[in-house]
Amino acid sequence: MEKKTETFKAEIAEMLNLVVNSLYSKKEIFLRELVSNASDAIDRAKFLALTDSSIAAENPEWAVKIAFDKENKTLTISDNGIGMNLEELENNLGTIARSGTKKFREMLKEKGGADLPELIGQFGVGFYSAFMVANKVRVETMKRGTDQAFAWESDLSGVYVLSDGSRDFPGTSITLYLNDDQLEYLDVYRLKDLISKYSDFITYPVTIHNQNPPKDEKSEDREKRLEDEAKAVNTMVALWKRPKSEVKDSEYEEFYRHLAHDWEGPFETIPFSGEGQVEFKALLFLPKRADMNLYMPGQKHGLSLYVRNVFISDDVDMLLPSWLRFVKGVVDSSDLPLNVSREMLQDDAIIRKIKSAVTSKLLNVFEDIRKKDPARYAEFYAKFGMVMKEGVYSDYANSERIKKLLLFATARGEDSRKVSFADYVAAMPASQKDIYYAVGRNENDARKLPQLEAALSRGIDVLLFCDPIDEYIADSLGEFEGHKFVDVGSGNVSFGTEEEVKAEKEAGEKQAELLKPLIDSLKNTLKERVADVRISTRLKDSPCCLVAAEGAMSPSMVRMMRAMQQDVPEQKRVLELNASHRLVEKLGKLTGEELEKSATLLYDTALIAEGSLVSDPARFAKLVTELMLGNA
């Protein structure tokens, strides 16, 4: 045929400007689009070969080839798929947003085709992403079942040229004449990296070739180059689409290492399919250890999103709640509606359904491991328990299920043993109504807190909240199976039966009356540091302790808020006295400067006992020295 120049059948200036400058956030996406189109073309050929004997007879080795030429600054993506005739070439590439793949699917649906191949193209704009990196694009194509090739060429000037092509076998080749600032795509390592990232699981081998090797290339270098060019750079193995019974554990482990860049194998492998309103395949992994950046701001979630084996993104935070960000794996959906760039999700309702199904599946797995192998669950929880706790306040829909998975050390328990809320409730004395917890910097120090004494003396165990997040989630815990969570270091806490509590209160009132002069003196001396001074019902062996005033923040919460650069006012606390302690009796006999110094020491020792820092270490040391000299 003679060359002919045609005008694009659309508002080409605006449309191409949109594609090149606005549609895609990354220029590198062009390679994903073109390789996906090549894969679609092969899928179409294979599907039509089932009923077309002329196509079936050819039976080629299906493949996608990428060739680069540094001297001429060209990059070519070729396939041996269905190809196009002249009419299809003009219709598909001469009209913006007219997709041959979409038309093909519609045709098969009209004919009642049930088992449609999973084709990527929907909008007919992926091809034009080539112009993000190229100033001219040339297409050579030959339709299967014919022997005539045609060419299409355009330089974004608003027109395209059709002519005879030189291709001598079916399929399509797209040659990009790269812009001078896009020559990075002529580097073989850059190309391999992009194929590995975006097209690793394309069903057909993708190979990379040097069209213009050095003229003085040594024979051994040539052999090595040809050997490398014959190898596929993509794995082609989408394990998530294969039945679990057909996949070896070693294959899952190798895939996990490749996906997560982890030198260890996975702790647990979870393949499953979502069915119903939304269909998808997923392959999830629980790691054996936490990433160093698990708690860093902006940490990416661990799932990668694929659509029909083509990588879309590894930063789709809508696929998992943030408390499950340690989970690695892939989700692949054929139903997922995407915008034309495939980079942003159009219908987040579908994503929410996938997220709900994935989250529920993971919760089922956690519950199953804990039930069948508590020791193994404890091993897993030791690595990821702290981030799972975030779900109590951030994932309202699953908060109750998450609560049942949490484990805590207890004041009476062994150092290494942690219990669930259900375990704690099952072991409670019959008279105990609430679930008690104490906040400490670590388990060892928390077990020595004076605030625990009354509870432990009555056989009541206390959960130890020692992770930085524990106190933060305390308010979100609310209750468990009808039992409220109560901080033993906050407010007016009492233990025992109603009669015992009433008796303690009456005794406390009598003791407070007897010690009123001391209490008033301490209030006056420590007025800048405490909100109140009162008789305690929670102390047995220690002379005093500090507790949070009703509605006030605890010291650990204040420290955490200030660490997050929050402006938190000073929180005065309540000093509680053990009226039966000899030290308190002795203090009642002091007056003047002796009482003032002793009050300061009393307050500071209460701080030290709970693991807090004294505000004036030098004065504390001086007072202790004076006390020691006085007793010497």
What is the Cα–Cα distance from 105 to 124, expressed in whole angstroms? 13
Who has greater pLDDT, 500 or 34?
A: 34
pLDDT band at 90 (very low <50, low <70, confident <90, very high): confident
Question: Residue 124 — very low, low, confident or very high, per pLDDT cuts 50/70/90?
Answer: low
Q: What is the pLDDT of residues 364-421, one digit of tens each?
A: 999 999 999 999 999 999 999 999 999 999 999 999 999 999 999 999 887 778 999 9
At residue 581, the 3 state secondary structure works out as coil
Q: What's the pLDDT score for residue 497? A: 72
pLDDT at 435: 94
Mean pLDDT of 552-556: 67
Specify the pLDDT at position 116: 52
The per-residue pLDDT for 214 is: 86
> Is residue 97's pLDDT more than 80?
no
Which two three-digit tokens encode residue 522? Answer: 């301490």
Per-residue pLDDT band at 92 (split at 50, 70, 90)? confident
For helices 592-609 and 617-631, the axis angle rounded to 10 degrees is: 120
- Average pLDDT, whole number, for the chain? 84
Return d(Cα 73, Cα 70) in angstroms, integer: 5
**Percent of the chain scored above 90 by pLDDT?**
39
Give 529-543 pLDDT, tens digit per residue.
999 999 988 888 899
Give the C-alpha separation, 267 to 582, whole Å.
Answer: 55
**Is pLDDT above 70 for 10?**
no
By DSSP bridging, strand 280-286 and strand 483-487 are unpaired
Rounded distance between C-alpha atoms, residue 345 and residue 304, angstroms: 14
Q: What is the dihedral of CA 27, 30, 32, 36, to 10 degrees?
A: 160
φ, ψ for residue 208 (rounded to 5)? Answer: -120, 130
The C-alpha atoms of residue 562 and residue 577 are separated, in whole angstroms, by 29
Percentage of the chain beyond pLDDT 70 is 85
- What pLDDT is recorded for position 188? 94
Checking if the pLDDT of 527 tops 80, the result is yes
The answer to whether residue 461 scores a pLDDT higher than 80 is yes
Region 182-210 average pLDDT: 93
Residue 85 pLDDT greater than 50, yes or no: yes
Q: What distance in Å separates the CA atoms of residue 337 and residue 339, rounded to the nearest whole number?
A: 7
CATH topology (fold) of 239-377: Ribosomal Protein S5; domain 2 (3.30.230)
| Residue pair 345/338 in contact by the 8 Å Cβ criterion | yes
**Lookup: tokens for 496:** 């025992």
| Pairing assessment for the beta strands 479-480 and 544-548 based on DSSP bridges | unpaired
Q: Using 50, 70 and 90 to split pLDDT, how confident is the model at 23?
A: low
> pLDDT-derived band of residue 632, with 50, 70 and 90 as boundaries?
low
Range 90-113 average pLDDT: 59
Q: Do 4-229 and 239-377 fold alike per CATH?
A: no
pLDDT band at 149 (very low <50, low <70, confident <90, very high): very high
Return the residue matching tokens 């204040």: 558
Q: Report pLDDT for 18.
A: 63
Q: Is the per-residue pLDDT at 230 higher than 80?
A: yes
d(CA 297, CA 92): 45
Domain ranges of the chain: 4-229, 239-377
List the structure tokens of 146.
């014919």
Looking at the DSSP bridge assignments, the partners of residue 174 are: 77, 139
Return the higher-pLDDT residue of 494 and 180.
180
pLDDT higher than 80, residue 424: yes
Quote the pLDDT of residue 66: 97
Query: Would the pLDDT of 122 be above 50?
Result: no
74-79: strand order across its sheet: 4-7, 159-164, 149-154, 134-142, 171-178, 74-79, 64-69, 206-210
Q: What is the pLDDT of residues 287-311, one digit of tens each?
A: 999 887 777 766 666 788 888 788 8
**110: pLDDT confidence band, cut at 50, 70 and 90?**
low
The per-residue pLDDT for range 426-455, each reduced to its tens digit, is 999 988 889 999 988 888 888 989 989 888
Query: Which DSSP symbol is given to 613?
Result: P
**Neighbouring residues of 288: CB distance < 8 A, sequence distance ≥ 6:** 262, 264, 265, 266, 267, 383
Residue 425 has pLDDT above 90, yes or no: yes
Average pLDDT over residues 59-63: 84
Which residue in 38, 72, 299, 282 sits closest to 180, CA to CA? 72
CATH class of 4-229: alpha beta
> Cβ distance 413 to 461 under 8 Å?
yes
